[in-house]
A and B are shown apart, each in its own frame.
Chain A
Amino acid sequence: MGFWDAVTEIIDAATPWATVEAEAPADIPAESAPAAESTEETTAETEAEEPAAAADEAEEEAEEEEEEDEDEIVDPKETLEEECRNSKECAPAKHHYDECVARVTGGTGAEGEDCVEEFFHLAHCATQCAAPKLWNVLK
């Protein structure tokens, strides 16, 4: 969108005879993606009408594809925080946490000891380090 488009839009919006419309958002890429899927499904269904066995196979394939699509989503927060946890920045906190876990699970710690405080320090360090990176990734 050019500069003059912006100017004309502002003028259009400011004119008293202009109407404000709550338009549905135009999601061109979003609509195209499900449309492609639906066409695939319809083709699968048309194939399915002929032999029953082929239909089952096609459905199974479609389901597998969907499952694969879901599996592809990886939470960037997890990966970024994992990176941060292993970074040099959080090395002291991680060292203390690991030591505490070894102590408590090994049974050499004080009675009723838990690693919540060490966990907090590590989590604080990791989230603090990952926060700006995460916001660059998320929409």
Chain B
Amino acid sequence: MLARTALRSTRTFASAKNGAFKFAKRSASTQSSGAAAESPLRLNIAAAAATAVAAGSIAWYYHLYGSASAMTPAEEGLHASKYPWVHQQWFKTFDHQALRRGFQVYREVCASCHSLSRVPYRSLVGTILTVDEAKALAEENEYDTEPNDQGEIEKRPGKLSDYLPDPYKNDEAARFANNGALPPDLSLIVKARHGGCDYIFSLLTGYPDEPPAGATVGAGLNFNPYFPGTGIAMARVLYDGLVDYEDGTPASTSQMAKDVVEFLNWAAEPEMDDRKRMGMKVLVVTSVLFAMSVWVKRYKWAWLKSRKIVYDPPKESATRH
């Protein structure tokens, strides 16, 4: 009905625009829609039936599944509050002291379960560690060599070009060691989670002392409001004074979480400092070029813009030709 009225109105509009040319067509269309307008009873029955079906489907759902406890806030998880991260500002870089502390937290706390498989030792050089420190760290681990003369693969100490070692051989081993839960790789975790830094910081620091009254926590799970579903397999790991920072920063839970989140953001976006500098260069160069182009345009168009066209009418003469 609605479609028909819409069609009719456009047609009348079109015919009005085109004048008498479309007149015959319009009269034809009004005649054809007259039949439906004659029986409002049928329409009322159809509307009532549709409403009954809609209400009936809801009633049926309740009959089958009971009260609907879908889309609860617990399912969604608590959205993390925004924290004023300094490194996320436009003209700010990572705090590399914080990165150094964060890497220490990762190595001493997170690395026992979480891999960081996309970060090689070489990328730590100059950003977090010195060359010697990174080399010493790499040499603590063993890696496969190229096959030797007999085709055997031997072990060698790590080099700067090696990647940080994984805590488990494969995902199955990781699941087996963690009660069936797979600790995700942290290389890109800041980019991979909705809420990014805020979410991970809140997750690490947000474990309440006890779950709120009435909340059900599954077996082997821990209550964390920020984790969708609120049941997370990872227990709280950061406790005050867990790490001894080499620069003497008091290692409170939130300080460690902040540092490790900034480090993980670096791991996910190691190019951020360079990217911001490049963006600044782009802005500077394009603004200069734009200003120059404006001035050049004004220069090139000056002759046209500054000309004056004057119509000098002939003087009215008393004599007529």
Q: Are B72 and A73 in contact (CB under 8 A)?
A: no
The reply on B83 being an interface residue by CB < 8 A is: yes
Q: Are A128 and B215 in contact (CB under 8 A)?
A: no
Which of B242-250, B265-273, B311-319 touches A?
B242-250
Given A25-B100, A101-B212, A135-B84, residue A30 in contact with residue B246 (CB < 8 A) = yes
Q: Are A131 and B98 in contact (CB under 8 A)?
A: no
When C-beta atoms are compared, the residue in chain A nearest to B248 turns out to be A30
Chain B residues with CB under 8 Å of A73's CB are 240-241, 250-252
Q: Are A115 and B215 in contact (CB under 8 A)?
A: yes
Which of A1-9, A42-50, A54-62, A116-124 touches B?
A116-124
**Docked complex Cα distance between A112 and B214 (Å):** 7
**Docked complex Cα distance between A22 and B129 (Å):** 8
Given A24-B133, A120-B73, residue A75 in contact with residue B225 (CB < 8 A) = no
Near B by CB (< 8 A), chain A positions 99-139 give 100-101, 104-105, 109, 112-120, 123-124, 127-128, 131-132, 134-135, 138-139
When C-beta atoms are compared, the residue in chain B nearest to A111 turns out to be B67
The reply on B125 being an interface residue by CB < 8 A is: yes
The reply on A92 being an interface residue by CB < 8 A is: no
Given A23-B130, A77-B205, residue A115 in contact with residue B79 (CB < 8 A) = no
Q: Are B248 and A104 in contact (CB under 8 A)?
A: no
Q: Are A138 and B73 in contact (CB under 8 A)?
A: no
When C-beta atoms are compared, the residue in chain B nearest to A115 turns out to be B212
The reply on B258 being an interface residue by CB < 8 A is: yes
Cross-chain contact of A116 among B73, B83, B253 (Cβ < 8 A): B73
Q: Are B240 and A114 in contact (CB under 8 A)?
A: no
Q: Mark B199-233, 1 if CB is under 8 A from A, else 0.
A: 00010011010001111100000000100001000
Q: Are B130 and A24 in contact (CB under 8 A)?
A: yes
Q: Are B131 and A114 in contact (CB under 8 A)?
A: no
Near B by CB (< 8 A), chain A positions 67-98 give 69-70, 73-78, 97
Q: Are B215 and A22 in contact (CB under 8 A)?
A: no
The reply on B297 being an interface residue by CB < 8 A is: no
* A-side interface residues, number (CB < 8 Å): 42
Nearest chain B CB to A25 CB, angstrom units: 6
The reply on B74 being an interface residue by CB < 8 A is: yes
Nearest chain B CB to A75 CB, angstrom units: 4
**Docked complex Cα distance between A114 and B83 (Å):** 29
When C-beta atoms are compared, the residue in chain A nearest to B84 turns out to be A135
Q: Are B83 and A134 in contact (CB under 8 A)?
A: yes
Nearest chain A CB to B266 CB, angstrom units: 15
Q: Are B247 and A25 in contact (CB under 8 A)?
A: yes
Q: Are A131 and B79 in contact (CB under 8 A)?
A: no
**Docked complex Cα distance between A138 and B78 (Å):** 23
10 new A-B contacts, CB < 8 A, other than A75-B252, A119-B215, are A22-B130, A23-B130, A25-B97, A77-B252, A115-B213, A124-B79, A127-B202, A127-B206, A134-B83, A138-B255
Q: Which residues of B contact A (CB under 8 A)?
A: 72-74, 78-84, 97-98, 100, 125-126, 129-131, 133, 202, 205-206, 208, 212-216, 225, 230, 240-241, 245-255, 258
